[in-house]
Amino acid sequence: QVRFVESGGGLVQPGGSLRLSCEVSSMIFSNLHMGWYRQAPGKQRELVARITRGGSTNYADSVKGRFTISRDNAKNTMYLQMNSLKLEDTAVYYCNNFPSFDYWGQGTQVTVSS
């Protein structure tokens, strides 16, 4: 079973930045299409950004121009650079295959607050 370990979350003021990391315990990471997802309190989990095994990217409209997804296949790691953070970006962020498997890591909390 592929394991996902997210890190890098924290408390940040509006307009600030954070960089999330996702370590994937799989020798086939380079063959996976991957995604960053988030779940805000009281809301369903949503796809924020995705990256194909070839490096093509796609973003939700709500984060386009502010977030950048990337991957380092040599390190089995995916990243999410988040800039110009807004209050509504507050959520637990998860990484997973795209489309997602039916199990999840622990996620990393991102809180945007003044």
For 42-83, the pLDDT digits (tens) are 999 999 999 999 999 999 999 999 999 999 999 999 999 999
Is the pLDDT confidence value at 7 over 90?
yes
Residues in the chain: 114
Measured CA distances, 39 to 33, 55, 69 (Å): 20, 24, 17
Find out whether 93 and 82 touch, Cβ atoms under 8 Å.
no
Is the pLDDT confidence value at 30 over 90?
yes
Beta strands per DSSP E along 52-107: 57-59, 67-72, 77-82, 91-97
Q: Which of 5, 41, 9, 13 is nearest to 109 (CA)?
A: 9
pLDDT value, residue 27: 80
From CA 105, how far away is CA 60, in angstroms rounded?
21
The gap between the terminal CA atoms of the chain, to the nearest Å, is 40
Q: Which residue has the tokens 């209050």?
A: 87
